């Protein structure tokens, strides 16, 4: 019978800040590049090695990223960031019924109303939220991606939706 033993993770990770959105990230030092999950900016590991901190082990790297991000939040915003896992946000697959099927008769006003209703629902759960929450909810509401970008810009301009620092959004209920 083989004996199983726990092996400590000693893989070196680089903890660094994204050059575009300033979020902290981690990457294995043996990787060639890392794409920022927040803004999509690509970083070459060879060029950012000197600007980051080498941490041994994945657990330690994640812990360091959270600590650095919290320090940044305290410094810039005066409060701590809320870290949530993807399991906190559920994706409901479209069901084939009359409500979720798009027809050619849907016009922009229908999308505006759906979008506004969707934003109100999001604001009941989250005071501040990232853009991907809007994308997930738009899929559930049957709003196509092409319309989503237009509606987002329109509601930002109208003042109903507000873009905050760190790529977060909030609802301005006074503009409704």
What's the chain's average pLDDT? 79
d(CA 134, CA 149): 10
Ordered by where they begin, the domains of the chain are 12-77 (3.90.820), 86-175 (1.10.10.10)
- Return d(Cα 154, Cα 47) in angstroms, integer: 39
- pLDDT tens for each residue of 129-174: 888 888 888 888 888 888 988 999 999 999 999 988 877 888 886 6
- pTM score: 0.43
């Amino acid at each position: 019978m083989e004996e199983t033993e726990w092996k400590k993770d000693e893989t070196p990770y680089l903890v660094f800040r994204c050059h575009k959105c300033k979020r902290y990230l981690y990457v294995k030092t043996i990787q060639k590049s890392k794409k920022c999950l927040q803004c999509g900016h690509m970083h070459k590991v060879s060029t950012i090695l000197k600007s980051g901190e080498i941490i041994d082990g994945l657990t330690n790297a994640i812990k360091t990223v959270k600590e650095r991000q919290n320090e940044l939040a305290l410094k810039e915003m005066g409060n701590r960031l809320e870290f949530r896992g993807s399991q906190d946000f559920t994706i409901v697959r479209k069901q084939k019924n009359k409500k979720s099927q798009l027809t050619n008769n849907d016009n922009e006003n229908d999308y505006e109303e759906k979008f506004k209703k969707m934003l109100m629902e999001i604001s009941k759960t989250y005071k501040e939220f990232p853009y991907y929450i809007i994308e997930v909810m738009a899929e559930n509401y049957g709003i196509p991606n092409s319309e989503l970008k237009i509606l987002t810009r329109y509601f930002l301009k109208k003042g109903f939706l507000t873009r905050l620092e760190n790529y977060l959004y909030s609802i301005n209920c006074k503009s409704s």
